[in-house]
Structures are given as C-alpha cells and as structure tokens.
C-alpha cells in the first residue's frame, strides 16, 4: 500500500490532490454551491484520514478542522478532531471542540474530561463538576471519572460529596491503589493530616511506585518528620533504583523541606491524569497514555513526571523526534533532568544523529564521574553503530568506575568481550568471557558466545559443545543457541545429530540466514544435497552477510566435496 507522509508545508497541494480524487466519489455533482462544499469536505476528510493513519497528528488535526469549517455541527468530526488536537498537544483547541460536544453523544467520555479540565484551569469548579458528571461510567471511565469528579467537588468545597464520588472506586478491587492515593492527596490538600497519613500508609501495602513514595515522603517532610521520610526513601531504594527518590533522600538528609506536591485543584486533577497515563504506559497502551499525559501537562505545565510518561509513549510509537522535543522541555534543574538527557541521547542515536548522541553521553559521563550508566549506554550506542573498538573503550572506562566487582557485573564484561571479539581482539575477548563465567558460571549467553567462538576458531571444540549443551538446557527455545549446538556437533563430525539440531534451530528462528547456511552444510554431509542447495539459496535470500555470499555461492556451485 502506498503511504503518503503529510507535512505542514505541502498541505494545500495535497489537499487539492485529494480533493481531486474525492471528486470521483461525488457522482452527479457540480462545482457550485453545496456541491463544491461537499467536494472540499470530502477532500479534506480523506486527507485527514490519511494523515491520521500515518501518525501525522498535526496535519490530521488541521484537516479535520478544515472539514469542521464546512460541517461545524458534525458530532463524529468534533470528537475525532478533538482527539487529534489533544494527541498533538493542542489541548486548548481540543477543549474548545469538546465543549461543543458536552451533552451530546460522547461514548468515550474524553470530551467531558477535556471540558472539565478547561473549566478547572479557569477556576470554574461548578461548571467542571457539571462536565465531570456528564462522563459516561464505562470502560476506563469507571476508574477515571470518579477521580475527576472528586477533584472538581473539592474545588467547590464539597468535601463530603468528593469522598462519596471517590468511594465509587471501592467496588472494584484493582482500583484500590488509585482510591487510596487520591484519598491521601485530597485529605492532605484539605488539611486533614491524620486521614492523609492513614491513606498513604494503606497505599504502601499495594506496592506503591516511585511517585507514591515521593508523595508520602513529601508529606512526612512537610510535617517535620524527615527521619521517617528518609526511612521510606531508603526502603524503596533498597529494592530498586530511582533518580527521583535518590534526590528526595538527599534533600531530606540535608533537612530542606520541599514544597507540597499538590497546591491547587488543577494540580490534583493533573495527578489523576498522570497516574492513569503512567499505569497505561506500563501496559504498553501508548495512545491513551499519551492523551492522558497531554491533559496532565495542560493542567500543570511544569509537570516533568508527566513529560517522562509522554516521551515514553512516543518512543513506543517510534516517534523519536517528538520524544526528544518533549524531553528537551525538562529544565536542567529538574530531578528528571539526568534521566531525560539519557533518553535524549538514546533517541538521537535512533535518529542516526550519532555525533550528537555520543557528545551528550560523554558530557553526562563527565558530569557524574562515579556513575557507570552514561558510559555503558555510550558503549551500547557505539556497539549498535558498529564502532566496536570505541565501544570497548567506553565499557572499559565504565569497568574502571565499578570498584568492587560483584556477580551482577558479568553482563558488562560479557558485553565488552563481544566488542573485543568484533574488533579482532580475541585474547581480550576470551579473557572477558572467562571472567564473566567466573562471576556467573552457568550464564547461558556467555556459555554460548564463548563456546561458538571456540568452535569457529577450531579450539576446545568438545568442551565448547558441552558448554553450549548447558546453555541449551537453560534456553531451549533460543534458535541461535540451538544453532551453536548443531554447529558444534557438525565440527565434531556428528552430522546426523547436527542436522537434527539445526532443523530445530531453523524452526525456532526461520529468518536467520546463518542457521539456514549451517543446515545446508549438514544436509550436504548426510547426502541430502538437493535440500542443502535449497538451504544455501535461502540463506542468501534471507540476507546473508555480504562477505558470506561468495562463499555460499561457491557451495551452491561446487558443494562441499573435497
């Protein structure tokens, strides 16, 4: 199918072209009056559909807007256009269109939530409550709508009604973490510290994430209970890394009290949308995660936590440039700055802007001379770009920063070993693989890589094959490891068993040209020469490495007979 990429610069031209195509669909019409308007609408509508299908949010929104100029009361167009404006970050325009939809059919409830957000931003809490009540209680709205309504009622000063609205979540067990977290935030906002603490502590029983830990710690610090906050932060960090919590711990240890996390109803409603967006992002639901993050960002423009979620949603859609744009909005002084710049560097490498990526990673490595993170990421970026010697140097600098080597560092030595091997520094590579096995003796990927390398070099072939046997026992469905086993058996002269293992490897990884090439060799040795030729040809068709193609072609022409 031909895909047309739309850009702002070619909108008028493309609109004309699509309008021309649309004319064929408008049989028996004239280019006058209503018929002309109909043709314009059809052309812009088709252009909008094409842009939307191609992920070109800005042009899709603009084209739908153009159609609305001709048909301003079309509910379907209003709903679709508002969603594209929301996704593109043009939230004010999405709200304007949504306000025209409120009270009409709104099956997904987005219009009501957008309209409520706009009213909250203006401080019109009564109108916001009216909009929130209009959101249908179905699907995801069963979770979101009660929280939105609760905060609009808080804005009206109707605390009992807010608690009643939030209480609707109690009927669904999996909503308990949201219920408790929002209860804690609302109670703290209303000044009931005892009720807030009770809700925060109950939320912890559900395995609170970094954002919830940050909120509870912030609350404790505001109460002059820095020691309790420190204990909460340290407990979380003992289980997982978090830049945000690490910085909160440093602040609490210095005795500096933070500003409250929620200082307005708009902040509270933003927290609702952020929480939902974060949860959806973890479930790889990138489109709705992006939309909720957009609403949160609109309500709270300094919300860097939401920018991180928004960027993650864009990355899942491979919108690397858009993700970079969002991440660049995070200020240098933000607690999210380090992580954001690391993500920018990765996204720049995905955009083939390698010089910028490498320069940024080197800057980050210099900024934190005790950390290995930027250097290992630099090594990964260089390795993926085929710069193996430079990657090995980056990994070496990271290893120099480790201090006392622990078993979990096996991966760093293994990865450096692969770059040594790819840059023809075998002695160094072998030393790293052997050391990685000292740290993790039965690590299957190290067993496979070292074993296969030995087999290719014609060294320790029996020992190497036994190592790969152990790797296969741990990773029986990894086609490339089963291939290594088959190749080891081939080199040992057990061609029948080699063919059986290589057949299994091809079934597990049918698109791997190396495995198909190996299977062709094994087939030839067991007398299945026609099948061997087929496998060799298939290996070339699958994209064998350029340096391997002449070798395979020679086998096709001459076989493997001595």
Per-residue pLDDT of the chain in tens (562 residues, 90 and over written 9): 222 223 333 333 333 323 332 333 223 233 333 443 454 455 555 655 565 555 656 666 665 666 666 666 777 777 777 887 888 888 999 999 889 888 666 656 889 999 999 999 999 999 999 999 989 888 899 999 999 999 999 999 999 999 999 999 999 999 999 999 999 999 999 999 999 999 999 999 988 899 999 999 999 999 999 999 999 999 999 999 999 999 999 999 998 889 999 999 999 999 999 999 999 988 888 889 999 999 999 999 999 999 999 999 999 989 999 999 999 999 999 999 999 999 999 999 999 999 999 999 999 999 999 999 999 999 999 999 999 999 999 999 999 999 899 999 999 999 999 999 999 999 999 999 999 999 999 999 999 999 999 999 999 999 999 999 999 999 999 999 999 999 999 999 999 999 999 999 999 999 999 999 999 999 999 999 999 999 999 999 999 999 999 999 999 999 997 5
Of 72, 92, 126, the residue that ends a domain is: 72
In a domain, 130, yes or no: no
d(Cα 312, Cα 323) in Å, to the nearest integer? 7
In a domain, 306, yes or no: no
User: For residue 343, what are its two tokens?
Assistant: 């993500």
d(Cα 75, Cα 269) in Å, to the nearest integer? 26
How many C-beta neighbours within 10 Å does residue 453 have? Answer: 20
The pLDDT value recorded for residue 85 is 85
Burial of 366 (0-12, 13-18, 19+ CB in 10 A): exposed
d(Cα 537, Cα 544) in Å, to the nearest integer? 10
The pLDDT value recorded for residue 41 is 55
In a domain, 151, yes or no: no
d(Cα 198, Cα 424) in Å, to the nearest integer? 61
- Domain count for the chain, please give it: 2
d(Cα 286, Cα 357) in Å, to the nearest integer? 25
In a domain, 448, yes or no: yes
DSSP 3-state of 87 = helix
- The closest of 339, 305, 336, 311 to 325, measured between CA atoms, is 311
User: For residue 472, what are its two tokens?
Assistant: 């296969």
The pLDDT value recorded for residue 24 is 30
Kindly list the distances between the CA atom of residue 547 and the CA atoms of 191, 419, 543, 544, in Å, as whole numbers in the listed order: 72, 19, 11, 8
The pLDDT value recorded for residue 80 is 78
Helix, strand, coil distribution of the chain in percent, nearest 5: 75, 0, 25
Segments forming the whole domain that contains residue 24: 1-72
In a domain, 332, yes or no: no
Contact 505, 486 (CB under 8 A): yes
Q: Give the chain's count of helices (H) and strands (E).
A: 31, 0
d(Cα 71, Cα 100) in Å, to the nearest integer? 13
Q: What angle do CA 262, 266, 268 make, to 5 degrees?
A: 45
The pLDDT value recorded for residue 104 is 66
pTM, full prediction: 0.84
Of 72, 99, 129, the residue that ends a domain is: 72
CATH of the domain at 449: 1.25.40.10
Contact 371, 401 (CB under 8 A): yes
Burial of 530 (0-12, 13-18, 19+ CB in 10 A): exposed
Contact 43, 21 (CB under 8 A): yes
In a domain, 540, yes or no: yes
Cα within 13 Å of Cα(523), Cβ side:
21
In a domain, 341, yes or no: no
In a domain, 498, yes or no: yes
The pLDDT value recorded for residue 20 is 32
DSSP 3-state of 492 = coil
- The closest of 402, 367, 368, 361 to 385, measured between CA atoms, is 361
Of 43, 72, 101, the residue that ends a domain is: 72
The pLDDT value recorded for residue 38 is 52
DSSP 3-state of 295 = helix
* Max Cα-Cα span within the chain: 91
């Amino acid at each position: 199918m031909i895909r047309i990429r739309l850009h702002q610069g070619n909108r008028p031209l493309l609109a004309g072209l699509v309008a021309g195509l649309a004319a064929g669909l408008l049989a028996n019409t004239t280019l006058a009056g209503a018929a002309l308007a109909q043709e314009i609408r059809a052309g812009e509508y088709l252009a909008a559909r094409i842009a939307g299908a191609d992920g070109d949010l800005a042009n899709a929104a603009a084209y739908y807007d153009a159609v609305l100029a001709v048909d301003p009361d079309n509910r379907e167009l209003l709903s679709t256009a508002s969603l594209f404006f929301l996704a593109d970050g043009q939230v004010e325009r999405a709200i304007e269109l949504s306000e025209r939809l409120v009270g009409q059919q709104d099956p997904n409830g987005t219009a009501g939530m957008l309209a409520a957000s706009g009213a909250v931003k203006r401080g019109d809490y009564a109108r916001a409550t009216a909009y929130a009540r209009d959101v249908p209680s179905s699907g995801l709205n069963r979770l979101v709508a009660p929280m939105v309504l609760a905060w609009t009622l808080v804005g009206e000063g109707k605390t009992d009604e807010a608690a009643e609205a939030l209480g609707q979540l109690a009927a669904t067990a999996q909503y308990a973490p949201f219920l408790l977290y929002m209860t804690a935030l609302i109670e703290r906002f209303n000044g009931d510290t005892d009720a807030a603490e009770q809700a925060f502590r109950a939320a912890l029983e559900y395995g609170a994430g970094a954002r919830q830990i940050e909120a509870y710690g912030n609350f404790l610090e505001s109460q002059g209970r820095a020691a309790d906050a420190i204990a909460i932060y340290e407990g979380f960090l003992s289980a997982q890394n978090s830049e945000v919590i690490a910085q909160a711990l440093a602040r609490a240890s210095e005795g500096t009290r933070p500003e409250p996390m929620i200082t307005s109803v708009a902040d509270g409603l933003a927290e609702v949308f952020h929480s939902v967006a974060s949860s959806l992002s973890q479930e790889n639901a990138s489109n709705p995660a992006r939309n909720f993050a957009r609403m949160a960002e609109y309500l709270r423009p300094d919300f860097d936590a939401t920018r991180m979620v928004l960027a993650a949603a864009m990355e899942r859609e491979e919108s690397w440039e858009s993700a970079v744009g969002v991440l660049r909005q995070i200020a240098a002084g933000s607690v999210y700055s380090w992580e954001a710049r690391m993500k920018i560097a990765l996204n720049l490498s995905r955009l083939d802007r390698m010089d910028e990526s490498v320069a940024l990673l080197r800057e980050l490595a210099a900024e934190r001379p005790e950390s290995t993170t930027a250097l290992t990421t630099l090594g990964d970026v260089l390795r993926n770009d085929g710069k193996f010697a430079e990657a090995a140097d980056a990994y070496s600098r990271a290893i120099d920063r480790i201090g006392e080597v622990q078993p979990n560092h096996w991966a760093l030595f293994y990865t450096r070993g692969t770059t040594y091997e790819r840059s023809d520094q075998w002695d160094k590579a072998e030393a790293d693989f052997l050391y990685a096995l000292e740290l993790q003796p039965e690590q299957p990927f190290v067993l496979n890589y070292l074993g296969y390398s030995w087999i290719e070099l014609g060294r320790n072939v029996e020992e190497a094959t036994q190592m790969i046997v152990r790797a296969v026992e741990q990773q029986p469905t990894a086609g490339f490891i089963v291939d290594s086993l088959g190749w080891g058996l081939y080199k040992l002269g057990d061609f029948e068993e080699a063919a059986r293992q290589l057949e299994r490897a091809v079934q597990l990884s049918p698109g791997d040209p190396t495995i198909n090439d190996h299977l062709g060799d094994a087939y030839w040795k067991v007398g299945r020469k026609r099948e061997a030729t087929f496998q060799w040809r298939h290996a070339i068709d699958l994209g064998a490495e350029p340096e391997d193609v002449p070798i395979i072609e020679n086998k096709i022409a001459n076989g493997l007979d001595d």
